[in-house]
Amino acid sequence: MTDSMPTVTVLGATRNFFKVGHYTLRRLAADAPELTLRLAIPEAQTAGRAVHDIDVQLRDWEPNRSGSLAEALSGTDTMLMVPPIDRRVEIGYMYLRAAQEAGVKRIVCLGIQFTAGQCAMADEVAALDVLLCESGIEYDLVPLPMFLENILYQCKSIAENGSFAFPVEADRPFSYITCDDAAELFCRKILSPESIDLSDALMSHHAQATCAEWASAIHAATGRPITFQRQDDEHFIASLGKYGMRRPAAEQVLGLWERIGTEGDAAPTRVAEQLLGRPTTDLAAWTQTHACCFGLGFESCPHPHPPTQHMFGPA
């Protein structure tokens, strides 16, 4: 590791610190202990409990206080940028102004699998891409499909009722990746920026899956009957609202699922597998290793889980 990249900051705008940012910090701590690692999110001291066992600086920033984000990013060389769904462009612009002020040299930013014109969320990602380009900071905007970890929002329903739901038909294929596989790709980029390009292709497992197949996989992992039901649109929006997501943002998530349901998901690729030099994790294997997440003791299982209330911003 060179002196040009001593500090890596995971930047977010919510308490939603259980997915790819969490896995990336843990991988960097193990693979590059010489780095200075930092978590910069509002109420970082609370979210930082998830990484209490590794050496991570915790930097709070206040969305409504100008300058607090630049202070939190001060000294950062590489930033893993996790834009919120809610007000992605507005908050992304705030991120980038602060990154410029702090002298950030490189950004790895999470994107989605669709392109402008395919759904509202894709339009927002495309607008953020323009801002990233105009910032003058080197960046990769990484096309990503659904994280399998998204089902962990439904642990309670699966444990108590043996059921889960998404707003899509049971037999409709979707592309996916695990947070750990994505985190390993991000670490490769952070540790050797010129060695890989994460922006040119969808970073996914090479095959798709369906919710019906997922129900079967959870059944195989737990030995309990598991059912999947297509979620009503309004119920889906309301379920996101329980986590503090505003309706316009929830409608963007619904629009992404509607695109999958009507036109199909973005085709999977083997690019992630090729870059990692190993097979990516498939849905059945991931579900088997996370079987403890779907039983009545899920709250004490060792895997990271979403906080009950994690969104910031006006209601």
SS3 content of the chain, % helix, strand, coil (to 5): 45, 15, 40
As annotated, the residues of the chain forming the CATH 3.40.50.720 domain(s) are 7-147+176-191, 148-174+208-263+282-300
pLDDT for 16 equals 65
Closest to 185 in 3D by CA, of 202, 168, 170: 202
pLDDT tens digits in sequence order for the chain, 315 residues long: 445 448 999 998 876 666 899 999 999 999 999 999 999 988 787 777 778 889 999 998 887 776 899 999 999 999 999 999 999 999 999 999 999 999 999 999 999 999 999 999 999 999 999 999 999 999 999 999 999 999 998 999 999 999 999 999 999 999 999 999 999 999 999 999 999 999 999 999 999 999 999 999 999 999 999 999 999 999 999 999 887 889 999 999 999 999 999 999 999 999 999 999 999 999 999 999 999 999 998 888 888 877 653 333 322
According to the model, what pLDDT value does residue 244 have? Answer: 82
CA distance 57 to 51: 10
Rg of the chain (C-alpha set): 19
Position 309 scores a pLDDT of 39
The confidence score (pLDDT) of residue 139 equals: 98
Tokens 């702090």 found at: 102
Residue 205 near residue 265 (C-beta atoms within 8 A): no
Report the SS3 class of residue 137.
coil
User: Which residue's entry shows tokens 């090729």?
Assistant: 274
Residues whose CB is less than 8 angstroms from the CB of residue 130 and which lie 6 or more positions away in sequence, other chains included = none
From CA 91, how far away is CA 115, in angstroms rounded?
20
pLDDT of 66: 66
With tokens 């039983």, the residue in question is 295
Residue showing tokens 């600086």: 57
CATH code: domain 148-174+208-263+282-300 is 3.40.50.720
Dihedral sign for Cα 141, 128, 264, 12, please: positive
State the pLDDT at residue 314: 29
Residue ranges with strand state E in 82-225: 106-110, 138-142, 146-147, 163-166, 176-177
Relative orientation angle of helices 120-135 and 247-263, to the nearest 10 degrees: 110
Euclidean distance between CA atoms 97 and 86, whole angstroms: 18
CATH hierarchy code of domain 7-147+176-191: 3.40.50.720
- Alpha-carbon distance of 61 to 84, in angstroms, equals 15
**CB-based burial, 27-50: b 16+ in 10 Å, e otherwise:** bbbeeeeebebbbbbbbbeebbeb
